[in-house]
């Protein structure tokens, strides 16, 4: 799914290169040139458009490639690449690996669990280091590489007197155009003629993350809130492309005045309005969608917007993380590696993944993040794990509740202890950060040497499993909450844990209790520190930091109870 999304991004870039995508352009030329370098596309004496066309075509060719290796594998540490080659799991082409997996799992084909699981790793690597990484890169080229921006979370971002359009799904293309067109004077006038004071675009799930991190467009919520938000009676249009759209969405919308608008040629919902996106006619389609939302505004009945809103600092791309550690003159990962080596930062954790209706919404996400930062673990989040954002955890103020060493580093650099890195395809940014930490020096030579973990506490989607698998195949200890889909087999459970650890240095485990997830994460981080012969983690060493200033507005106890920031509009 993420790779197929990446394919669409490549097609849009090709259309831009051909001059056939009105409304779109190359926004980040520096990134275009860097990506051209990764893909072997010549840049000398060539126009932006020529390079864009070739980058798009080369990216697209990665999907249909039959032989060799994906070009982006070279972005992994050397040692990691060798492990993949030795295991024969270096992906050849993105589509080829998916097709082969479908073949091998057909009746009567591959009948050795360990062997099938190797192909599972190969497919997932194609997804992480191929489709997702290409998707992230092309999104940055077309819409800009994110840098920190102020955003806001939760239902309070809806506006009572405006036309509210919720952008839900995954692709940033149409979403970007809707944001631009919402400022069109004719459409604003049209909205006024229907009694609205403006047009308010808000995000949800991963499309929301894309808009949030590039423009600070407010984020109404994550996966489990996508039906609930319509009950506010204030959502004129729920615009969805594909993935993570609740199957009862249209049925729920029929109780309110909301129009569900599907936009992808790949996904329709019975009863919903289908306005298909085509990047050759982008602005026209974006306008039609906004018009449809405006026409719905007069049908409003009872409106109740829950009065919750939280500010957040978001948009930490891997480029910005390098930049913030030395500016453009000497950007690097040295300060971060040093902080981990001397124990100010104990380790790092990526908290990612979905919400799941089988568990209390956001509870595990929020508690795990709180406990990790308290224990000096730097946290990065993506996807619906931005749950922490709704609880005020993506603000620098939260550093007051971080452990003393982590707090010192955050104060020195001026960052929150929880860094928002974007949507789920942007887990590829985490792969890049891990590679850069591993090759910077001082923390071993490979991703599996790093004191780091990946966690998806409330996962539900197949996509999350793929992410967990490519993290494990890349050498990361990955812990999923909820239930294990392979719990029925002790042997397979062992294979993806100890078995994969022997092969790749990473492993995938399932643990339903969030407290145990924290315990296992810290134990793993400490074990990796020991293996690297780093100083033993000692929070007392940094507790005397002169910069430390206790929170004067909240007690730590309140923070632990989760009371600490929910504020009203």
**In the complex, which residues of this chain contact ligand NFS (CB under 6 A)?**
170, 205-206, 223, 244, 353-354, 383-384, 424, 461, 463-464
Query: Between residues 282 and 353, which has the closer beta carbon with respect to ligand NFS?
Result: 353
Beta strands in 288-415 (DSSP E): 310-314, 347-351, 377-381
Q: How far apart are CA 413 and CA 230, in angstroms?
A: 40
Q: How far apart are CA 62 and CA 71, in angstroms?
A: 8
Min dist. Cβ of residue 242 to ligand NFS (A): 10
Min dist. Cβ of residue 132 to ligand NFS (A): 10
Q: How far apart are CA 28 and CA 10, in angstroms?
A: 15
Q: How far apart are CA 401 and CA 555, in angstroms?
A: 10
Query: Between residues 244 and 453, which has the closer beta carbon with respect to ligand NFS?
Result: 244
Query: Between residues 143 and 223, which has the closer beta carbon with respect to ligand NFS?
Result: 223
Helix locations, 88-219, DSSP H:
94-104, 113-125, 133-143, 172-181, 185-193, 205-215
Min dist. Cβ of residue 47 to ligand NFS (A): 34
Query: Between residues 25 and 484, which has the closer beta carbon with respect to ligand NFS?
Result: 484
Beta-carbon count within 10 A of 485 CB: 12
Query: Between residues 292 and 367, which has the closer beta carbon with respect to ligand NFS?
Result: 367
Query: Between residues 178 and 322, which has the closer beta carbon with respect to ligand NFS?
Result: 178
- Indicate if the alpha-carbon torsion angle 434, 436, 439, 442 is positive or negative: negative
Q: How far apart are CA 447 and CA 431, in angstroms?
A: 9
Query: Between residues 9 and 354, which has the closer beta carbon with respect to ligand NFS?
Result: 354
Min dist. Cβ of residue 482 to ligand NFS (A): 12
Q: How far apart are CA 325 and CA 348, in angstroms?
A: 16
Q: How far apart are CA 557 and CA 149, in angstroms?
A: 30
Q: How far apart are CA 114 and CA 554, in angstroms?
A: 52
CB under 8 Å to 360, separation ≥6 — which residues? none
Min dist. Cβ of residue 176 to ligand NFS (A): 17
Min dist. Cβ of residue 424 to ligand NFS (A): 3
If we measure between CA atoms, which residue out of 423, 311, 425, 503 comes closest to residue 2?
Answer: 425
If we measure between CA atoms, which residue out of 391, 290, 410, 286 comes closest to residue 345?
Answer: 410
Which class for 27: exposed (0-12), middle (13-18), buried (19 or more C-beta within 10 A)? middle
Min dist. Cβ of residue 382 to ligand NFS (A): 8
Angle CA(407)–CA(508)–CA(83) in degrees, nearest 5?
Answer: 95
Query: Between residues 54 and 426, which has the closer beta carbon with respect to ligand NFS?
Result: 426
Radius of gyration in angstroms for the set of CA atoms belonging to the chain, rounded to a whole number? 23
**Starting from the edge strand earliest in sequence, which strands make up the sheet with 452-456, in order?**
418-420, 377-381, 347-351, 452-456, 477-480, 507-510
CB 383 within 8 A of CB 344: no
Query: Between residues 228 and 341, which has the closer beta carbon with respect to ligand NFS?
Result: 228
Residue whose tokens read 């001059």: 19
Query: Between residues 9 and 384, which has the closer beta carbon with respect to ligand NFS?
Result: 384
Min dist. Cβ of residue 461 to ligand NFS (A): 4
Q: How many CA atoms lie within 13 A of 538 on its CB side?
A: 7
Min dist. Cβ of residue 338 to ligand NFS (A): 32
Min dist. Cβ of residue 143 to ligand NFS (A): 17
Query: Between residues 53 and 249, which has the closer beta carbon with respect to ligand NFS?
Result: 249
Query: Between residues 212 and 354, which has the closer beta carbon with respect to ligand NFS?
Result: 354
- H or E segment at 318? helix 318-323
Min dist. Cβ of residue 480 to ligand NFS (A): 12
Q: How far apart are CA 41 and CA 33, in angstroms?
A: 9
Query: Between residues 240 and 285, which has the closer beta carbon with respect to ligand NFS?
Result: 240
Min dist. Cβ of residue 464 to ligand NFS (A): 5
CB under 8 Å to 104, separation ≥6 — which residues? 110, 116, 119
Min dist. Cβ of residue 271 to ligand NFS (A): 22
CB 528 within 8 A of CB 450: yes
Min dist. Cβ of residue 5 to ligand NFS (A): 9
Query: Between residues 89 and 393, which has the closer beta carbon with respect to ligand NFS?
Result: 393
């Amino acid at each position: 799914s993420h790779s197929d999304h990446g394919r669409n991004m490549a097609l849009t870039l090709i259309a831009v290169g051909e001059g056939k995508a009105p409304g779109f352009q190359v926004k980040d030329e520096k990134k275009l040139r860097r990506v051209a370098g990764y893909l072997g596309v010549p840049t000398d004496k060539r126009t932006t458009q020529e390079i864009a066309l070739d980058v798009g075509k080369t990216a697209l060719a990665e999907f249909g490639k039959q032989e060799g290796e994906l070009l982006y594998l070279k972005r992994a540490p050397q040692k990691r690449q060798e492990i993949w080659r030795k295991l024969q799991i270096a992906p050849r082409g993105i589509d080829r690996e998916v097709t082969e997996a479908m073949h091998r799992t057909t009746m009567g084909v591959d009948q050795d669990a360990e062997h099938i699981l190797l192909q599972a790793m190969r497919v997932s690597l194609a997804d992480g280091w191929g489709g997702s990484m290409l998707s992230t890169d092309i999104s940055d080229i077309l819409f800009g590489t994110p840098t920190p921006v102020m955003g806001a979370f939760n239902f309070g971002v809806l506006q009572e007197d405006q036309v509210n359009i919720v952008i839900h799904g995954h692709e940033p293309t149409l979403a970007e155009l809707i944001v631009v067109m919402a400022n069109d004077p004719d459409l604003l006038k049209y909205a006024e003629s229907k009694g609205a004071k403006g047009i308010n675009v808000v995000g949800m799930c991963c499309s929301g993350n894309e808009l949030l991190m590039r423009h600070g467009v407010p984020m109404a919520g994550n996966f489990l809130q996508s039906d609930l938000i319509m009950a506010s009676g204030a959502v004129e249009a729920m615009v969805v492309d594909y993935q993570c759209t609740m199957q009862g969405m249209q049925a729920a919308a029929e109780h309110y005045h909301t129009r569900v608008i599907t936009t992808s040629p790949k996904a329709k919902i019975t009863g919903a309005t289908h306005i298909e996106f085509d990047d050759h006619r982008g602005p026209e389609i974006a306008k039609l969608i906004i018009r449809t939302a405006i026409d719905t505004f007069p049908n409003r009945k009872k409106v109740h917007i829950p009065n919750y809103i939280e500010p957040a600092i978001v948009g930490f791309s891997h480029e910005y993380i390098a930049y913030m550690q030395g500016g453009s003159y000497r950007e690097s990962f040295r300060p971060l590696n040093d902080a981990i080596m001397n124990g100010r930062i104990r380790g790092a954790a990526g908290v990612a993944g979905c919400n799941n209706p089988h568990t209390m919404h956001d509870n595990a996400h929020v508690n795990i993040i709180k406990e990790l930062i308290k224990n000096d673990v730097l946290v990065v989040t993506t996807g619906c794990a931005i749950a922490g954002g709704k609880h005020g955890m993506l603000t620098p103020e939260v550093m007051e509740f971080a452990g003393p060493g982590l707090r010192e580093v955050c104060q020195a650099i001026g960052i929150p202890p929880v860094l928002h890195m974007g949507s789920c395809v942007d887990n590829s940014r985490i792969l890049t950060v891990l590679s850069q930490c591993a090759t910077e020096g001082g923390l071993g030579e490979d991703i599996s040497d790093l004191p780091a973990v990946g966690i998806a506490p409330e996962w539900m989607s197949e996509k999350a499993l793929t992410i967990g698998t490519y993290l494990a195949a890349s050498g990361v200890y990955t812990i999923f909450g909820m239930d294990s889909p392979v719990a029925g087999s002790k042997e397979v459970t062992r294979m993806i844990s100890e078995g994969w650890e022997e092969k790749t240095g990473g492993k995938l485990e399932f643990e339903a209790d969030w407290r145990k997830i924290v315990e296992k994460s810290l134990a793993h981080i400490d074990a990796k520190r020991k293996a690297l012969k780093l100083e033993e983690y000692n929070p007392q060493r940094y507790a005397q930091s002169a910069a430390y200033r206790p929170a004067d507005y909240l007690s730590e106890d309140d923070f632990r109870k989760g009371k600490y920031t929910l504020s009203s509009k």
